[in-house]
């Protein structure tokens, strides 16, 4: 992997990740852009103890442009985009309309390929490995920013999810705090450790799931299963079998196997609802240990946390979506229409 860092016309950072070491990236952003101005701020909810990012400048972000005006495609001739070069393997840049900015964190866009009509599932294993390497590198770099406590790599796919740009891409949020969802995991981890005299909750969950009926697929270094209390109609958790706190902790064997396992999962998601259905909308989310202090979680260290990926769709059956209604949105109590055991069975049925 070759990494080249440069700047866009408004000062935002752009990083190319290339498969070939002899690739030269010297294209200049020719757009007449002024420096990005954001209004992002993080406000604490004193009742719930969580945080909300207020970012009114995002109202003006690019919204469903035609394919020939996609800002994530390479620049060609007079058609100027966020990527000044005429091609790329993987490109990462600071979001022009960030939810978090400055002392309140950082947001980045990760373009998986220059092919507008592709998807992550259509990447080769070599391309998927390059994306993994880019995620890992950005996690390392962002973790050293003084305002950052947690790094979140994720992909939203499909208009039903709320995606406004059709080009295959994901995002990285570098939060200035430990997110509420991770805090819940850490509290459960601490409570279980104390109650069992030191047992790790993530290890127990993985061991239990591998012995059960909800395993979707298993490799030498990775295991994927539908969790016992799945929140979403089709939800799969992907764990490395050797517990590590973040992407940086993966060894070469796990990195080598990841593309094969992950691409198979994504392709199965596209086959869940049968041929002729539009691509399955999904969210794919990496859960990594925070880089900040964990003093509030008694007896828990970063090494107790288990890196894992959660992949889920909001489509519950052909032509029908799972909407978050009163119980889910109002009280955070999910109601799942698809039994996790049946979801796992279906995901095994559609194996390639």
State the Cα–Cα distance between residues 102 and 86, nearest whole angstrom. Answer: 30
Q: Beta-carbon neighbour count of residue 184 at 10 Å?
A: 10
Ligand-binding site membership of 57 (annotated): no
Residue 41 φ/ψ, nearest 5 degrees: -145, 150
Going 224 to 225 to 227 to 231, the CA torsion angle's sign is positive
Containing 341, the helix (H) or strand (E) segment is: helix 340-349
Quote the tokens at residue 280. Answer: 């399955």
Exactly one of 57, 64, 144, 169 is catalytic; name it.
169
State the Cα–Cα distance between residues 88 and 193, nearest whole angstrom. Answer: 46
Ligand-binding site membership of 70 (annotated): yes
Q: Which value, in Å, is the radius of gyration of the alpha carbons in the chain? A: 20
- What does the buried/exposed string (b/e) look like for 79-115 if buried means 16 or more CB atoms within 10 Å of the residue's CB? ebbbbbbebbbbbbbbbbbbbbbeebbbbbbbbbbbe
Ligand-binding site membership of 107 (annotated): no
Is 231 a residue of the active site?
A: no
Instruction: Determine contact, residues 84/72, Cβ cutoff 8 Å.
Output: no
Ligand-binding site membership of 231 (annotated): no
Could you tell me where the DSSP H helices lie in 144-251? Answer: 180-195, 201-210
Q: Are strands 51-54 and 2-7 parallel, antiparallel or unpaired?
A: unpaired
Q: Which residues are annotated as a binding site for Zn(2+)?
A: 70, 73, 116, 167
| Known binding positions | 70, 73, 116, 167
Q: Which residues are catalytic?
A: 169
């Amino acid at each position: 992997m070759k990494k080249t860092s440069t700047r866009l016309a408004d000062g935002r950072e752009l990083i190319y990740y290339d498969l070939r070491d002899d690739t030269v990236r010297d294209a200049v952003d020719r757009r007449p852009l002024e420096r990005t101005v954001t209004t992002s701020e993080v406000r604490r909810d004193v009742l719930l103890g969580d945080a909300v990012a207020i970012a009114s400048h995002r109202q003006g972000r690019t919204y469903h442009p035609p394919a020939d005006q996609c800002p994530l495609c390479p620049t060609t001739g007079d058609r100027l985009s966020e990527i000044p070069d005429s091609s790329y393997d993987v490109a990462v840049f600071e979001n022009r309309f960030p939810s978090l900015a400055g002392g309140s964190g950082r947001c980045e866009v990760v373009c998986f390929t220059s092919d507008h009509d592709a998807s992550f599932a259509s990447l080769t294993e070599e391309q998927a490995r390059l994306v993994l390497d880019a995620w890992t590198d950005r996690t390392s770099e962002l973790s050293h920013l003084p305002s950052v406590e947690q790094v979140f790599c994720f992909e939203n796919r499909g208009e039903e999810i709320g995606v406004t740009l059709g080009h295959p891409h994901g995002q990285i949020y570098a939060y200035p705090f430990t997110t509420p969802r991770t805090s819940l995991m850490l509290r459960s981890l601490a409570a279980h450790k104390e109650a069992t005299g030191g047992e790790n909750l993530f290890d127990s969950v993985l061991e239990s799931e591998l012995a059960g009926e909800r395993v979707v697929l298993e490799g030498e270094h990775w295991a994927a299963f539908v969790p016992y209390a799945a929140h979403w109609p089709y939800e799969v958790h992907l764990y490395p079998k050797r517990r590590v706190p973040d992407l940086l902790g993966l060894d070469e064997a796990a990195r080598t196997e990841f593309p094969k396992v992950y691409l198979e999962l994504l392709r199965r998601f596209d086959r869940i609802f049968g041929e002729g259905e539009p691509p399955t909308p999904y969210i794919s989310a990496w859960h990594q240990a925070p880089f900040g202090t964990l003093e509030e979680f008694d007896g828990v260290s970063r090494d107790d946390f288990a890196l894992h990926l959660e992949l889920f769709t909001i489509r519950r059956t052909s032509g029908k979506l799972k909407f978050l209604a009163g119980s889910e949105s109002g009280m955070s109590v999910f109601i799942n229409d698809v039994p996790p055991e049946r979801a796992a069975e279906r995901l095994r049925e559609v194996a390639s």
